[in-house]
Structures are given as structure tokens and as C-alpha cells.
């Protein structure tokens, strides 16, 4: 199964740019939890902590659309170091302003808006590196999906240990070092930089490509699944008097996704990307149904691992479809639209699931991720989704 990954990683420069991007995007899994821990410890208010974490997340979603467009036009080599510096400045302002909610809010918004959309950055590198081997692109995307799961498994663990053992500001120090280091290393890999877009275009021009408008909505549906399911896991474990199990269950969710991604990316599929997305999202909805009826955390852990295995194949198909639909010069922006949709969908899923849990209980709340998966299926059923777009002239 690993032979296809070894082959794709032999692509010139692939190991270096993938490793650099891993370093640079690990902070996203650190900073979110670090904000909650830092603010709740210094103020005793989880409401303020949640609001500032949400501000960082929303700023990253919106800012990524602008910064990805800049990267398409000016290149990653010229853009990544500057973004890293601004991101670190925002985090520094946040940490040094514990007594000012306004300054902290400005800090997290600046840091979030300047954080490079690394998932899009590295996938656009894969697309450029595998131009002559498009059949291997799904494997490259699968590799990054597995690394994403690893990042969001170890990132919170690193954050919690550092915050408790060293101090609540330390995760921000480590995140800053990782961001700068990863961005500089990636900028140095100029040979694998995607092509620079020489013609001017308006923000949002990527969405005018044939059927591309549906892809951020598919991303939002996936984000909805993640947010609603993970919050409901925490509530269910708490209701069962086993809150400590929530971290294990969410870890199994990520582990299942990593296994599913490794398997899916290692196979040579003959059917279309659109069919893959339809089948994967429909199956995801099916395997999420058992959680509605479980009565113990142990059983939920098993069903969650199985459901997790259906996540990465759907995400891999989504990113591969974006690559097909978008011209190469708009690829980073196009991928970022999908990522931003995912972030906003996550925020919406977490918010609404909280309301459902408080008023109707966890069993009803577990219905929300099922609906999210099947909304993605309906979006994928649209005609001409798999056709490559004709570039729109600005």
C-alpha cells in the first residue's frame, strides 16, 4: 500500500516542500487551543476565550482568500516570509496584552488574517510538481490529508503539555518559530513554486470557473460534519460521566481518517472524481448514523473510528476536483475558497450543535453531521462538475 506514496515522494523537491509545509501548518493546530487556554486562565472566562478563538478562525478564513490571491500573482517565494512576520507580530500583540480585550482581539485578527493558507499552498505545489503525472496527484493529495490528520492529533497534545508544564504563553512562542521556519524553508524551494499569474484578476474570479462555486459549499458541508460531530462527542462523553474519553474518541476520528486516506490514495482508481466524491460523501453519511443510537462511549469510539475512515477519501476527491476545475494560475486561490468554506462550516456546525445539545440532547445532535455529509453528496451530483474549466479572462 505504501509503494505508491514512496513513488510520489520521489518527485523532485516533494519531500522538502511537503516537510516544510508540515512545519508551517502545525501552528494552526496549536494556536486555536492555545488561545482558549491562555484567555480562560488569565480571565476565567470561557466566553471570551471562545470569542477570541472564533475571531482567529474567521480571520484566517477571510484573510486566506486575499493572501492566496496575492501568492498566485506574486509567488509563494515573495509572499510567505512577509506573511509569517505579520502573523508573529499579531500573536506577540495578543500575548503582551492580557489586560486589554480590544488589543487581544486585534492581535488574533491580524495573526489569523496573515496566517498563510498552508493546506492550499502545499497542494498547489503538488499540482505543479505532478503536471506531467496527473494520475499521481490523488496520491499526493492523500499524503497531505494524512499529514493534516497527524497535525490535528499531535498539535493539541503539544499545546496542552507546554501550557501546563511551561506556561500558557509558550505555545505561541513555539507556533511562531514553526511558522517562520516552515515559511522560510518553503520559500527557499523556489524550483517547485507554482506558476505565477501574470494577468490581473478580481478576487473571486476563481469562483467564476465552470462549477467551481459548488466547491466551497462542499468544503462548508465537510466543516459542518467536523464541527457538529466533535462538539457532540464532547457533550456525549460528559453526559456519560466520562469527559476524559472525548479526547480519545476524537483521536480515533482522526486516526480512522488517516487510515482511510492512506488506503484511498494508494489505489489506482478508474472512475471519475465526481463519482468518487458522490460515493464517499454518501457512505460518510451512512457510517455516521450509528452514533445516533449508541449508548456508551466505548461503542461510540468504535463507530467513530469507522466513520473517520470515510472522511479523507471525500476530502481527497474534493481537492482533486478543485484542481481539475481551476486554471493553474488560480489554483491556490481556488483551493483556499474551499478551505475557507470548511472553516466557516466548522464554526457553524459547532454553534448549532451546541444549541441542539442544550435543547434536544446529543442523540438529536448526532443527526447534524449526517445531514452535512448528504448535503455534500447533493452538491456533488451537479452536472459538469468533473469538467475542467475554461479560464475566465478578467
3-state SS record for the chain = CCHHHHHHCCCCCHHHHHHHHHHHHHHHHHHHHHHHHHHHHHHCCHHHHHHHHHHHHHHHHHHHHHHHHHHHHHCHHHHHHHHHHHHHHHHHHHHCCCCCHHHHHHHHHHHHHHCCCHHHHHHHHHHHHCCCCHHHHHHHHHHHHHHHHHHHHHHHHHHHHHHHHCCCCHHHHHHHHHHHHHHHHHHHCHHHCCCCCCCCCCCCHHHHCCCCCHHHHHHHHHHHHHHHHHHHHHHHHHHCCCCCHHHHHHHHHHHHHHHHHHHHHHCCCCCCHHHHHHHHHHHHHHHHHHHHCCCCHHHHHHHHHHHHCCHHHHHHHHHHHHHHHCCHHHHHHHHHHHHHHHHHHHHHHHHHHHHHHHHHCHHHHCHHHHHHHHHHHHHHCCCCCCCCCCCCCC
| pLDDT reading at 216 higher than 60 | yes
76-84 average pLDDT score: 93
- What pLDDT score does 143 carry? 86
Confidence bin at 323 (pLDDT 50/70/90): confident
163-190 average pLDDT score: 92
Confidence bin at 247 (pLDDT 50/70/90): low
Under 8 Å between Cβ of 149 and 257 = yes
Q: Which is more confident, 270 or 290?
A: 290
Pick the most confident of 195-199, 295-299, 330-334, 336-340: 295-299
Domains located in the chain, CATH noted? 12-200 (1.20.1250.20), 205-387 (1.20.1250.20)
- What pLDDT score does 193 carry? 87
The rounded percent of the chain whose pLDDT value lies above 70 is 90
- What pLDDT score does 299 carry? 94
- What pLDDT score does 392 carry? 40
Cβ-Cβ contacts under 8 Å for 165 (sequence gap 6 or more) = none
Confidence bin at 376 (pLDDT 50/70/90): very high
> Using one digit for the tens of pLDDT, what is the confidence trace for 112-150?
999 998 988 998 898 888 887 777 887 888 888 888 878
Confidence bin at 391 (pLDDT 50/70/90): very low
Cα torsion for 342, 346, 352, 357, to the nearest 10°?
A: 140
- What pLDDT score does 234 carry? 74
The rounded percent of the chain whose pLDDT value lies above 90 is 30
| pLDDT reading at 328 higher than 70 | no
Confidence bin at 282 (pLDDT 50/70/90): very high
> Using one digit for the tens of pLDDT, what is the confidence trace for 25-74?
999 878 877 887 788 788 877 567 767 877 888 898 889 888 988 888 88
Q: Which is more confident, 102 or 268?
A: 102
Distances in Å between the alpha carbon of 129 and those of 110, 122, 317?
Answer: 32, 10, 18
145-161 average pLDDT score: 78
Tell me the pLDDT of the chain averaged across its residues.
84
Amino acid at each position: 500500500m505504501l509503494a505508491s506514496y514512496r513513488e510520489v515522494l520521489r518527485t523532485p523537491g516533494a519531500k522538502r516542500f511537503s516537510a516544510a509545509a508540515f512545519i508551517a501548518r502545525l501552528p494552526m493546530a496549536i494556536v486555536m487551543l492555545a488561545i482558549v487556554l491562555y484567555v480562560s486562565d488569565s480571565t476565567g472566562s470561557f466566553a471570551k476565550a471562545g470569542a477570541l478563538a472564533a475571531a482567529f478562525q474567521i480571520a484566517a478564513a477571510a484573510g486566506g482568500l486575499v493572501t492566496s490571491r496575492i501568492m498566485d500573482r506574486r509567488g509563494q517565494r515573495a509572499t510567505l516570509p512577509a506573511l509569517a512576520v505579520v502573523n508573529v507580530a499579531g500573536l506577540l500583540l495578543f500575548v503582551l496584552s492580557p489586560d486589554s480585550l480590544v488589543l487581544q482581539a486585534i492581535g488574533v485578527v491580524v495573526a489569523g488574517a496573515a496566517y498563510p493558507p498552508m493546506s492550499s499552498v502545499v497542494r498547489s505545489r503538488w499540482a505543479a510538481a505532478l503536471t506531467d503525472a496527473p494520475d499521481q496527484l490523488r496520491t499526493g493529495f492523500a499524503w497531505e490529508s494524512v499529514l493534516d490528520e497527524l497535525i490535528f492529533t499531535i498539535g493539541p497534545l503539544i499545546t496542552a503539555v507546554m501550557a501546563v508544564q511551561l506556561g500558557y504563553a509558550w505555545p505561541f512562542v513555539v507556533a511562531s518559530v514553526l511558522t517562520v521556519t516552515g515559511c522560510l524553508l518553503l520559500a527557499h524551494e523556489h524550483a517547485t513554486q507554482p506558476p505565477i499569474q501574470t494577468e490581473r484578476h478580481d478576487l473571486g474570479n476563481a469562483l467564476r470557473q465552470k462549477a467551481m462555486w459548488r466547491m466551497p459549499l462542499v468544503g462548508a458541508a465537510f466543516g459542518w460534519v467536523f464541527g457538529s460531530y466533535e462538539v457532540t462527542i464532547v457533550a456525549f462523553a460528559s453526559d456519560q460521566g466520562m469527559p476524559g474519553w472525548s479526547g480519545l474518541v476524537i483521536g480515533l476520528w482522526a486516526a480512522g481518517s488517516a487510515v482511510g486516506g492512506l488506503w484511498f490514495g494508494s489505489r489506482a482508481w478508474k472512475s471519475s472524481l465526481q463519482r468518487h466524491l458522490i460515493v464517499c460523501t454518501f457512505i460518510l453519511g451512512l457510517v455516521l448514523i450509528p452514533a445516533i443510537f449508541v449508548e456508551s462511549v466505548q461503542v461510540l469510539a468504535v463507530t467513530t473510528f469507522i466513520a473517520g475512515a470515510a472522511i479523507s477519501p471525500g476530502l481527497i476527491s474534493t481537492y482533486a476536483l478543485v484542481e481539475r476545475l481551476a486554471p493553474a494560475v488560480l489554483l491556490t486561490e481556488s483551493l483556499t475558497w474551499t478551505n475557507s468554506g470548511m472553516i466557516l462550516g466548522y464554526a457553524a456546525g459547532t454553534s448549532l450543535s451546541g444549541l441542539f445539545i442544550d435543547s434536544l440532547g446529543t442523540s438529536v445532535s448526532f443527526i447534524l453531521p449526517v445531514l452535512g455529509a448528504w448535503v455534500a453528496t447533493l452538491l456533488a451530483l451537479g452536472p459538469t462538475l468533473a469538467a475542467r474549466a475554461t479560464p475566465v479572462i478578467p
